[in-house]
Amino acid sequence: MLCLCVTRPRSRLGMLRSALRAAFGRLREERDFEMRRVPEVEIRSTSPVLRVSLDGEVATMATPLRYRIRPGALRVLAPPPGAAPGAVPERVSAAAGRPPPADRPSPG
């Protein structure tokens, strides 16, 4: 699930206070924002483009912005459970730690 954090409606001064609390690690969900876990979200704006933080970089993206989860889409290399340090990793699905499907052979 995606964690969607939405700020509560505020004046400009209120937004500045929230930004300062965030900078000092003092935000509280019940006071400053609402958090929901969602499988997908679409963010609309009156602007045709928005500046978005993407993997630590700022990018300009066309609206609406659409985000969704893709279960099992990420493949990772990991040592088998209980393997000795330095063991050769095997390819594992991020979804429940399962080996890849038979129709997708392991690289190598």
Judge contact between 95 and 71, C-beta under 8 A: yes
Q: What is the pTM of this model?
A: 0.56
Please tell me the predicted confidence (pLDDT) of residue 108.
Answer: 45
Give per-residue pLDDT as tens, 66-84: 999 998 888 888 777 887 7
Please tell me the predicted confidence (pLDDT) of residue 65.
Answer: 95
Give per-residue pLDDT as tens, 1-25: 898 888 877 788 988 888 888 889 8
| Closest listed residue to residue 103, CA positions, set 93, 94, 95 | 93
